[in-house]
Amino acid sequence: MPGTEEVHSPPSTATGSDLVASLLTVGRTLLLLLPVYLCGYLGMSIVFVILGLVVYLGWKATRESKRISLKSAFEALQNEEAIMASRIFMTKRELPSWVTFPDIEKAEWLNKFLSQMWPFIGQYLEKLLTDTIAPAVRSSNTHLSTFYFTKINVGEKAPKVIGVKAHTEQGKNQIILDLHLSYVGDMEIDVEIKKYFCKAGVKGVQLHGMLRVILEPLIGDIPIIGAITIFFIRRPMLDLNWTGLTNLLDIPGLNTMSDTMIMDLISGYLVLPNRLAIPLAKDLHMAELRAPLPRGIVRIHLLRARDLSAKDFKVKGLIAGKSDPYAIVRVGTQVFTSRIINENLNPVWNEMYEAIVHEVPGQELEVELFDKDPDQDDFLGRMKLDLGEVKKAGILDKWFTVTNTKTGQVHLRLEWLTLMSNASQLEQIMKINKEISSKTTGEPSAAILIIYLDRAQDLPLKKAMKEPNPMVQLSIQDMTQESKTVHNTSSPVWEEPFRFFLRDPSLLDLDIQVKDDDRQHSLGSLTLPLARVLCADHLTLDQWFQLENSGSRSRIYLKLVMRILHLDPSYVPVITESESPGAEEAAVGSSVDMPPRPEKTSPPEKFATESLLRVFVLEAENLIAKDNFMGGMIKGKSDPYTVIRAGGKSVRTKVVKENLNPRWEQAFEVLVTDIPGQDIEFSVFDKDIDSDDSLGSCKVNVKNILKMKTIDEWLPLQEVKSGRLHVRIECLSLLMDAAQLEQVLMINSLTQPANSEEFSAAILFVYLERASDLPMRKGTQSPAASAELTVKKVTYKTKTASKNTSPVWDESFIFLIKNPASETLQLQVRDESQNSLGSLTMPVSDLLTADCLTLDKWFKLSSSGPHCQVLMRLQMRILSSPNVSPELQALSLASGDPQRPPSPENTSDFLPAAGDSDPAISSTQGDLRQRLPYTNSDPNSTDSPLGQLRVTVYYPAKEGRLVAVIHSCRNLSLSSREPPDPYLSMVLQPDKTRTTKRKTSVRKRTSNPEFNEKVEWEMSIEEASKRKLEISVKNSVSFMSSKKELLGKVSIDLSQVDLSKGQSQWYDLKDE
């Protein structure tokens, strides 16, 4: 009909896609029936069909539960606010940590930050997997040569931080963040091995745990944060949704095993004690970041339990029996198992364990109790405790109620041990430990040794000239630990930490065996007495060690850090009276008996950590002119000088008049610490009548100097148009061998710039802890005492202690010693009215014969009561320059006494340090360190009637000048009963104008004066070879005195001296 539209419906025919789906359904059905058909065809039992059906149903249930878990987790993250509102009045367990705990903050800004970055993190992950990991997998095995990532998609869901807790109480140089991390991601990663048509992958990941992030060290320069360290304190919860062939891993039994294996892999990198360190600043010690010192040690006394559940029933369960309890104690990855107490519901163990605490707060102590049975052990209860509570209390003695059971308590005594960096109280600690061992099973440890195995170099090859597969075995007594194996290299890098508890470190040796991976072929060995570590500064050795029974150049780099385990006697045990059945039980295994008066000091961790830098300000060039004339129309010059600032102190050079290219050639000694961000600043000024003008400034980072040992550079001056400054800075080595003192004094005298103060030969660290039995004021009042310490012209004063006859100061001081043989330490104790309470005078030379150049004891005060003493630690180190030329070294050796072979213990103490990579410097140091003990004697002395003079003459080619070092005189003739006041006068003949005349300072009242002064003459070596050096030894007298002025004379014909090599010897004095 018109106006009527006829609608035609299309025919309903099956499409191609529907047909494919139907065929796939039929194929799956036939595939499922195939096992049934095969069982019937092969005549197998119906049990196999039922077993296969059970496995399939279990796999199906596991897959479905994972799907539901992922779906619910996605919904929870997407609708967090609605879920929170619906559950806000329900249990706290269902609330996030920022709601439950007030000190945990919500960090939505951080989640937005992660969400914005997540796609770019995905791009980086894709490049990492395809460009780095995939080629590594393909090259690892021929069967994996066709391994490829076919799909990499991190998804749209970024990790979410549920809450953040910041810890700032641990130290000022670090920030600790605990991130409560939850990741429910739609990540898809598929892999394929095309050669075997094998496909596998992951689609969906869940990860929940607490991630600790440590920002340390904090430095005073960009980027402020030196490094980021991340790790999980406890194993996180992981759930993976497999695809492809790895679907088989969801079969019941295999799914738990696969998740555990993957979690173990993650734990090997990111769960304590493992951690990931990401350096942000240069020159950081990675060993300290990857394997830092523990926060402390917890000593666990497992004493007893009571009211445990009975698990062993009799007469088919009608009569309750008892249990056979034992305990499993866990601190992180450290697990201890107690002995089994048969048929006892109130067992007594009295066992002691020691566990390393890497992070606190955060790490937990867990104790689980079990009943031992022939088949499966029954669970009796569990308790957990954050070890931060133990650290806070010091000693925690308590009955803990076990959970997840009806009844039961366990009695623990927990003691927090701090780590001391000096061995002053080692003997006292070992005495206390022996008393503890009589009350409990096992003797407590007195120290812990942390070994950081870094690398080895030039290990010998195998017999077939193949590269070895080296691994290391480290043994102390019957304790042995092994490193990983590094394949196919003679210079392996391990970077692994090892830890040993020690009972008496002074008697133990560390045995190191470097072997091939078959454990049969030795690549080298090393035996190191731990007594060497006890004598080292801060109980630390950080250096290369030469391997024995190996190649001539084979060596291994180790860092050994020992710490003494100290329980503070001031801790008061925290005992819960309501839960403790008796006071006598709490004392079992105690290690806090009040100790007697300390025999040695307890210096702070930072005691004697300073380094001494020798700063040479040599010259400058192209300085700008500041002294202009006629309004700047006529360019003038400048009168430059340099100011050096470091460690809060400043020194300055002399002023060089009217010179834009001045030469100062002055040296200064500066004390610095290893705090990051320190600089040595050099500021150049023009000296004016009113205000000095700046000619520019520059700076050098202290950390670089401490690492490189020596810096010799031209530094461009900043904030000016032109100019640069030439400086040389040396970090002096601190040596413990008094045999090197004479050598160091000789080197100092030969390298001393003419316009500088005398170089220091040693550094003296003083720690004044306390005094005892000081006299009372007016017989009845306790004094408010302070102390003054003086060496030469340097004096330090302590704080004034509160009124007490046994005041405690706990203060440290540093003195630079020019010559230990002639200097004295004076200590004066005074009250608030400056009246003397006692004094002490001690020659610094007494330390030269002390063990490790250290005295740590009570010193008796004179001019005081009969029992007045001070407890003090005196620690001296010889200062050795790391940059001594071979010519100067040979000259100093020739000028000394005849050598004798060094003792093995002395030579082994001074292997090249980590920073001494220059072989020339290392060999020079090795020669310098093989010197005799300090002595003033000489077997070649003669009976000259006027005495002798010791002089060194040489011509350093680089400096272009003749140098004479006046060392000393001996046996000067006496013209009267009193000793003379000698000095030396020198002149180069011929010299008609007397311009070459030089003289030394005067030494008072001595016939054996020590000068150690250097004089110089600028001239060519050819001109110097034509001269004679005349030296007159004179007595400083007034013109009215009748004493004889000239004591003797020496004439040295320089044409007979090889000035390029130099000559140093004793000369007989003669009459005029």
User: How far is the C-alpha of 812 from the C-alpha of 335, rounded, in Å?
Assistant: 41
Q: Per residue in 651-674, pLDDT tens? A: 999 999 988 999 998 999 999 887
Examine the pLDDT at 88 and tell me if it is beyond 50. Answer: no
User: How far is the C-alpha of 926 from the C-alpha of 513, rounded, in Å?
Assistant: 25
Sign, CA torsion 937/942/943/944: negative
Helix (H), strand (E) at residue 924: helix 919-928
Helices (H) and strands (E) in the chain, counts: 18, 51
Query: What is the band of 813 on the pLDDT scale with cuts at 50, 70, 90?
Result: very high
What mean pLDDT do residues 18-43 have? Answer: 71
Helix (H), strand (E) at residue 629: strand 627-629
Q: Per residue in 1034-1053, pLDDT tens? A: 888 766 555 568 888 999 99
Check residue 662 and give its pLDDT. Answer: 92
- Picking from 80, 75, 89, 69, the residue whose alpha carbon sits closest to that of residue 108 is 80
Q: Per residue in 244-300, pLDDT tens? A: 655 544 445 545 555 556 556 656 667 777 788 888 877 676 667 777 888 899 999
Examine the pLDDT at 314 and tell me if it is beyond 70. Answer: no
Helix (H), strand (E) at residue 232: strand 227-232
Sign, CA torsion 212/216/218/224: negative
Which DSSP letter does residue 746 get?
A: H
- CB burial of 528-566 (b: ≥16 within 10 Å; e: otherwise) equals bbbeebbbbbbbebbbbbebeebeeebbbbbbbbbbbbb
Overall residue count recorded for the chain in this entry: 1072
Query: What is the band of 68 on the pLDDT scale with cuts at 50, 70, 90?
Result: low
Do residues 914 and 542 make contact, with C-beta atoms less than 8 angstroms apart?
Answer: yes
Over pLDDT 90: what percentage of the chain? Answer: 23
Q: Could you give the angle at the alpha carbon of 366 between the alpha carbons of 365 and 370, nearest 5°?
A: 150
Query: What is the band of 905 on the pLDDT scale with cuts at 50, 70, 90?
Result: very low
Q: Which among 67-71, 200-204, 364-368, 1006-1010 has the top mean pLDDT?
A: 364-368
What mean pLDDT do residues 832-853 have? Answer: 89
* Burial classification of residue 15, based on how many CB atoms lie within 10 Å of its CB (0-12 exposed, 13-18 middle, 19 or more buried): exposed
Check residue 762 and give its pLDDT. Answer: 94
Q: Per residue in 193-227, pLDDT tens? A: 777 677 777 777 878 888 888 888 887 777 888 88
Phi-psi region of 739 (alpha: psi -120 to 50; beta: other; left: phi over 0): alpha
Q: Token digits for 122?
A: 């995905």
What mean pLDDT do residues 635-643 have? Answer: 86
Q: Are strands 447-457 and 409-420 parallel, antiparallel or unpaired?
A: unpaired
Do residues 670 and 647 make contact, with C-beta atoms less than 8 angstroms apart?
Answer: yes
User: How far is the C-alpha of 956 from the C-alpha of 969, rounded, in Å?
Assistant: 25
User: How far is the C-alpha of 1051 from the C-alpha of 989, rounded, in Å?
Assistant: 10
Check residue 922 and give its pLDDT. Answer: 37
Helix (H), strand (E) at residue 502: strand 493-502
What mean pLDDT value characterizes the chain? Answer: 79
As beta bridge partners, residue 1014 has 965
- Picking from 161, 167, 158, the residue whose alpha carbon sits closest to that of residue 179 is 161
Which DSSP letter does residue 711 get?
A: E
How crowded is residue 725: how many other Cβ atoms within 10 Å of its Cβ? 26
Check residue 877 and give its pLDDT. Answer: 92
Check residue 215 and give its pLDDT. Answer: 87
- Picking from 383, 387, 404, the residue whose alpha carbon sits closest to that of residue 332 is 387
Check residue 971 and give its pLDDT. Answer: 86
Examine the pLDDT at 1064 and tell me if it is beyond 70. Answer: yes
Check residue 904 and give its pLDDT. Answer: 35
Check residue 399 and give its pLDDT. Answer: 93
User: How far is the C-alpha of 63 from the C-alpha of 244, rounded, in Å?
Assistant: 13
User: How far is the C-alpha of 141 from the C-alpha of 98, rounded, in Å?
Assistant: 48
As beta bridge partners, residue 213 has 177, 230
Examine the pLDDT at 82 and tell me if it is beyond 60. Answer: no
Check residue 67 and give its pLDDT. Answer: 66
Check residue 630 and give its pLDDT. Answer: 52
What mean pLDDT do residues 604-632 have? Answer: 82
Check residue 994 and give its pLDDT. Answer: 80
Which residue carries 């910041």 as its tokens? 166
Q: Per residue in 117-176, pLDDT tens? A: 888 888 888 888 788 778 877 776 677 788 788 888 888 888 888 888 887 766 667 888
Examine the pLDDT at 231 and tell me if it is beyond 50. Answer: yes
Which DSSP letter does residue 130 get?
A: I
What mean pLDDT do residues 837-845 have? Answer: 91
What mean pLDDT do residues 406-412 have? Answer: 92
State the virtual CA torsion across 732, 736, 742, 745 in degrees, nearest 10. Answer: 20
Check residue 4 and give its pLDDT. Answer: 46
Q: Are strands 395-401 and 574-575 parallel, antiparallel or unpaired?
A: parallel
Examine the pLDDT at 15 and tell me if it is beyond 70. Answer: no
User: How far is the C-alpha of 812 from the C-alpha of 794, rounded, in Å?
Assistant: 14
Examine the pLDDT at 304 and tell me if it is beyond 60. Answer: yes
What mean pLDDT do residues 894-898 have? Answer: 46
Examine the pLDDT at 783 and tell me if it is beyond 70. Answer: yes
Query: What is the band of 400 on the pLDDT scale with cuts at 50, 70, 90?
Result: very high
State the virtual CA torsion across 279, 285, 287, 293 in degrees, nearest 10. Answer: -100
The residue that leads in pLDDT, 905 or 91, is 91
What mean pLDDT do residues 511-535 have? Answer: 89
Query: What is the band of 239 on the pLDDT scale with cuts at 50, 70, 90?
Result: confident
What mean pLDDT do residues 673-695 have? Answer: 85
Phi-psi region of 127 (alpha: psi -120 to 50; beta: other; left: phi over 0): alpha
Examine the pLDDT at 917 and tell me if it is beyond 60. Answer: no
Check residue 633 and give its pLDDT. Answer: 56
What mean pLDDT do residues 703-715 have? Answer: 86
pTM for this model (two decimals) = 0.59
Over pLDDT 70: what percentage of the chain? Answer: 76
Lowest mean pLDDT among 14-23, 254-263, 303-312, 440-449: 254-263
Check residue 902 and give its pLDDT. Answer: 36
Examine the pLDDT at 689 and tell me if it is beyond 90. Answer: no
Check residue 250 and give its pLDDT. Answer: 47
Q: Token digits for 683?
A: 């500021």
- CB burial of 899-934 (b: ≥16 within 10 Å; e: otherwise) equals eeebeeebeebbbbbebbebeebbebbebbbbbbbb
Query: What is the band of 903 on the pLDDT scale with cuts at 50, 70, 90?
Result: very low
Check residue 337 and give its pLDDT. Answer: 92
Check residue 170 and give its pLDDT. Answer: 64
What mean pLDDT do residues 296-313 have? Answer: 88
Taking the alpha carbons at both ends of the chain, their separation in whole angstroms is: 155
